[in-house]
Amino acid sequence: MSSYDNDNIFAKILRGEIPCDKVYEDDHVLAFNDISPQAPVHVLVIPKGSYTDIADFGANAPVEEVAAFHKAIALIAREKDLKDSGFRTIANAGVNGGQEVPHFHVHILGGKALGPMLRSSEAA
């Protein structure tokens, strides 16, 4: 994925054009509940900067933004009581990764046993 699409749904959420159920916000990061939760806890964490996917973010985001992003994930996991029970983070990227929204985001999933990482039909 290369050029950033300013009209993607998460860009609209960041601009306040579409509402979200906010979980966390700081200077660099916004987190909100997924509209179609796949687990009792399903939070999406996004950088406020315009990055298409995790590769774009890792290559081009300033270190403060990368650090803030990881700190936010840790904070949300703690606040959602996921630290002891465990949880999963997922960053889908591009076509093969099944990414639907082309603004980098990490899913935080938890609140129940999530089973194997991939369904058997998705495994190699």
**Active site amino acids:** 105
Look up residue 25 and give its two tokens: 């916000």
SS3 43: strand
Nearer to ligand 5GP, 17 or 64 (CB): 17
Question: Site for ligand 5GP (CB under 6 A): which residue of 32, 51, 87, 104?
Answer: 32
CB atoms within 10 A of CB 62: 10
Q: Using CB under 6 A, which residues numbered 48 to 107 contact ligand 5GP?
A: 92, 98-101
Interatomic CA distance for residues 114 and 117, integer angstroms: 8
Interatomic CA distance for residues 106 and 96, integer angstroms: 16
Nearer to ligand 5GP, 28 or 103 (CB): 103
Question: Which among 31-39, 54-62, 65-73, 77-85 is the span making contact with ligand 5GP, rule CB under 6 A?
Answer: 31-39
Q: Could you tell me how many residues of this chain bind ligand 5GP (CB under 6 A)?
A: 13
Question: Which among 27-35, 70-78, 79-87, 112-120 is the span making contact with ligand 5GP, rule CB under 6 A?
Answer: 27-35
Cα distances from 91 to residues 16, 18, 19, 35, 61, in angstroms, run 23, 22, 22, 17, 16
Interatomic CA distance for residues 64 and 115, integer angstroms: 34
Residue with tokens 């990061």: 29
Query: Rounded to the nearest whole angstrom, what is the least distance from the CB of residue 84 to ligand 5GP in the complex?
Result: 25
Binding site for ligand 5GP (CB under 6 A): 9, 18, 20, 32, 34-36, 44, 92, 98-101
